Amino acid sequence: MQSRFVLKTIFLFSLNIISAIDTCDRITQHGYPCQTHRLTTTDGYILTVFRIPYSHRGKTRNNVTTASRPPVLLMNCVQCSSDIWVLLGPHNGLPFMLANFGYDVWLANARGNVYSEKHIKFEPSSTAFWEFSLDEIGNIDVPATIDYILAATNSQSLHYVGFSMGVTAFVMALASHPSYNQKIRTSHLLAPVVFFCHARGPLPTLGVPLLGNNNPLSVRLGTLPLHQLVFLFREVASRICLLPDYQSVCIQLLNFFVGWDSPYLNRNLLPEILATTPAGGSIRQYHHYLQLAASCGFRAFDFGLERNLQKYGKPKPPAYNLTNVHPKTPMEMYFSDNDFLADTQDLYRLSEIFGKRASWNRVKYMKYNHFDFALAYNLKECIYDCVVHRMQRYEGRDFNLDLCKCFRNKPF
């Protein structure tokens, strides 16, 4: 009873924090227009999508028709939200760059993060709300968001940019719904996490023995609504890390989890990063990743023998069929050596499977780590310029691929 009360209190407290400023506030701060859209998935989750319909500056302002402003979907990582894309600001942030180049930018939020923490029936304080893994995000949220955007913009297809889990979910979506291949113009997959066999760092090292396989502990932990603690962490961390003496400790801690010693993290953003991340999610999402690490496969969530039989009709969860993943243009994969979570061995294996369906861009900086693909100070020069101009080429507009110069000549 008492712990429930404590959780409720933390939850209410956390609502005060998150209502303070949202992605649209962060966008309009810089003068850009922003809209908030909500869609309901077939299983009742209410997802928030933020939209920058056009840029307030440059020649694209008023005279570009909706038809000539192609939609782009940006999909978030585990424990982050649409906020992660806008933290770099109007000069270096991908959403702003895209808007300036005449794109219609949509920032998605997977179920369970701060902006998508609603359900038509379940309260987020109930365990039923949290009974989802990566499967539901890939198989339901991504297709639902794509369809919503295509309907709203009266388009047949869109550009997709995913970071980390945004890549996992993309591959799941296309593998289980092959008709969505036709809805993708170009795809840009940053720090791509698909196979998770060689993941390094403390999370997989500690987590796999505990939760990599199904056991009573993992089953119990799975759906606990402990997400409120995440908000408390955010509040405390963002304040502590503001203190100059603690900044380097905070950065060390961040690097500890995602890749050693990156010199590229934009340190000025630290308070903002910690005020928006972790952004919430289910424990089962982590659990799913740990299962992928243990099984070395790319497959659905493992519920244990009995529920697997009920749900999948077989004792083991089915593998995602990667043959089904073949968007209209080769998937552009952007990766690096110092990424603990998207290991080059796992990516090499994926490259053998995808063949010509994917194109591989290995960042030439040895210390680029996982979070650098969202927060490095040189992301614009290293990756985003290239992403934008590859879209420009697809759209038959002026482009400059000399900007794609941050990568090694041979990816593997």
Ligand X SMILES: *[C@@H]1O[C@H](CO)[C@@H](O)[C@H](O)[C@H]1NC(C)=O
- Residues 83, 135, 141, 339: which is the catalytic one? 339
- Residues 188, 288, 370, 389: which is the catalytic one? 370
Site size for ligand X (CB under 6 A): 5
Q: Which residues pair with 53 in a beta bridge?
A: none
- Distance from C-alpha of 296 to C-alpha of 276, rounded to nearest angstrom: 31
- In sequence order, the 6+-apart residues with CB closer than 8 A to the CB of 371 are 254, 258, 259, 262, 265
The answer to whether 63 contacts ligand X (rule: CB under 6 A) is yes
Taking contact as CB under 6 A, which single stretch among the options 86-94, 252-260, 273-281, 318-326 is the one that binds ligand X?
318-326
Annotated active-site residue 164? The verdict is yes
Q: Would you report the helix, strand and coil content of the chain in percent, each value rounded to 5?
A: 50, 15, 40
Q: Minimal distance in Å, beta carbon 135 to ligand X? A: 17
H or E stretch covering 352: helix 344-354
Residue number with CB closer to ligand X (202 or 315): 315
Residue number with CB closer to ligand X (48 or 55): 55
- In sequence order, the 6+-apart residues with CB closer than 8 A to the CB of 339 are 191, 258, 259, 368, 369, 370, 373
State whether the Cα torsion 281-284-288-294 is positive or negative: positive
If you ran DSSP here, which 8-state letter would residue 317 be given?
P
* One of 321, 328, 401, 405 touching ligand X (CB under 6 A): 321
- In sequence order, the 6+-apart residues with CB closer than 8 A to the CB of 134 are 165, 168, 169, 172, 285, 288, 289, 301
Residue number with CB closer to ligand X (268 or 321): 321
Q: Which residues pair with 74 in a beta bridge?
A: 107, 161
Residue number with CB closer to ligand X (357 or 393): 357
The answer to whether 60 contacts ligand X (rule: CB under 6 A) is no
Taking contact as CB under 6 A, which single stretch among the options 4-12, 298-306, 319-327, 358-366 is the one that binds ligand X?
319-327
- Residues 116, 164, 218, 351: which is the catalytic one? 164
3-state SS, residue 173: helix
The answer to whether 42 contacts ligand X (rule: CB under 6 A) is no
Residue number with CB closer to ligand X (15 or 353): 353
Q: Minimal distance in Å, beta carbon 324 to ligand X? A: 5
Q: Both tokens of residue 236?
A: 């405390």
* One of 29, 323, 345, 400 touching ligand X (CB under 6 A): 323
Q: Minimal distance in Å, beta carbon 359 to ligand X? A: 21
* One of 2, 3, 62, 409 touching ligand X (CB under 6 A): 62
Residues in contact with ligand X by the rule CB under 6 A: 62-63, 321, 323-324
Residues annotated as part of the active site: 164, 339, 370
